[in-house]
A and B are shown apart, each in its own frame.
Chain A
Amino acid sequence: MLRVDVEKQLGEFSLQASFSSEGRVTGLFGASGAGKTSLINMIAGLLRPDRGTIVIDGETVDDTAAAIHVPAWRRRIGYVFQDARLFPHLNVAQNLDYGRRMNRLARDPAQHTRVVELLDIGALLDRRPGKLSGGERQRVALGRALLSKPRLLLLDEPLGALDEARKLEILPYLVRLRDEANVPMVYVSHDVAELRQLATQIVMLRQGRVTSFGGVKVLT
């Protein structure tokens, strides 16, 4: 499903990571500064590796030796950022529809209804992002990514900006997403409890290196 073998120098920091994962939810675990976000940005195509390969779903999206670099907009990935990044000039419904429009996909009312119900955002459709709470924003961001029909969903600390209560509000949605949406995910977090609940495989990062890889057991 996902194969990563990359090197990247970012100032003083060097990132060198290699892993492959078939799991439904691959947890990227590590302290802040371990290189999690740089790694996920490389998978997304927002950052270019200095050397190495990235293969998503059998398609090579990065191969420095062969000078292959598929730009982010052609990777068919979904990305949920820590800070939601909803488009402030569009309402919730238009935000949700953005990926479909950009990818020129046919309307899929059944999927739309399913995602809206799964995330409980039906009541928010007419609102502007500025009028949403942090938790609502994050749910809309999840929906927006899902509705672009990605083959891989990347989540970079999607609960990181929320307080404990909001986290507990969103977590069940993520579990449902994992069990019902049928999109493999890469989930970045520094929170052991979160990953225990969600991840099926763990990649542990420390100072830019993969220190262990395996089932959720490696978190102990």
Chain B
Amino acid sequence: MFDISPAEWTAILLSLRVAVIATLVATPFGIALAWLLARKDFWGKSVLDAVVHLPLVLPPVVTGYLLLLTFGRRGLVGGFLADHLGIVFAFRWTGAALACGVMSFSLLVRPMRLSIEAIDRKLEQAAETLGAAPFKVFFTVTLPLALPGVLAGMVLGFAKAIGEFGATITFVSNIPGETQTISSAIYSLIQTPDGDAAAGRLVIVSIVLALGALIAAEWFARRATQRLHGN
């Protein structure tokens, strides 16, 4: 029963690649945004916060369609990127990574933001009196103390990215070997007459990946508390 076929492996590996790239690219932006939301008050902050969370509540097909309009070959941004930088998103695995990144971004940012908010700002003041310029304070105190939260955010974002379906299939379709992730492979398999066993295997793979990610995120969160208490 548990003989994973080459086609299934292709989907699993593609999912992993898409989710890893989406998470790695999103992380620096996520840290910057988390810091901004945790520490700064500025005009439009609640709007920005809402925009980040929007993909969480919008129908995924709407997000996918908006991505297609923006990043498609004829889209405003997509056209520019394709003509000037040679980066194409539409119907490519890169587009799947973009869709997954957008869909998982709010989950990725949230633990990062919480862990930055939990840091005692008095520690940053102490660093300042010891001669640390603001960016050094960030890299030697804020970021190390927030690290477990940053990792937890990455794990959650990754888990969400690996299971993303609606926006991805709308934006980049369901092309085996190029854009067919685990989710879209399962979708195709349950519509074919003899696909049940294969679909079942992929379902188990997704459950294992998701559970693993949740356990890892929990573990990082516990580490964070220990770190802040100096043990």
Contacts and interface: CB of A to CB of B under 8 A. Distances in A.
A198 B37 CA distance: 45
Nearest to A91: B230
B122 A83 contact: yes
Contacts of A129: 230
A73 B132 contact: yes
Contact of B129 (A73, A83, A130, A131): A73
Interface of B: 120, 122-123, 125-134, 136-137, 140-141, 144-145, 227-231
Interface in A90-139: 98-99, 102-103, 128-131
A180 B230 CA distance: 32
Contacts of A145: 129-130
B128 A85 contact: no
A86 B230 contact: yes
Contacts of A79: 126, 129
B131 A148 contact: yes
Interface in A34-51: 44-46
Nearest to B133: A73
A6 interface: no
- Of B126, B127, B137, B229, most buried by chain A (CB within 10 Å of CB) is B126
A137 to B, nearest CB: 9
Given A73-B133, A81-B122, A83-B122, A88 B230 contact: yes
Contacts of B145: 88-89
A77 interface: yes
Give the bracket for the number of chain A residues in contact with chain B: 20 to 34
Interface of A: 44-46, 71-79, 81, 83, 85-89, 98-99, 102-103, 128-131, 144-145, 148, 154
A128 B131 contact: no
A218 to B, nearest CB: 29
A99 B131 CA distance: 6
Nearest to B120: A85
B132 A85 contact: no
Contacts of A85: 120, 122-123, 125-126
A145 B230 CA distance: 19
A87 B123 contact: yes
A98 B133 CA distance: 13
B220 to A, nearest CB: 14
A102 B136 CA distance: 8
A185 to B, nearest CB: 14
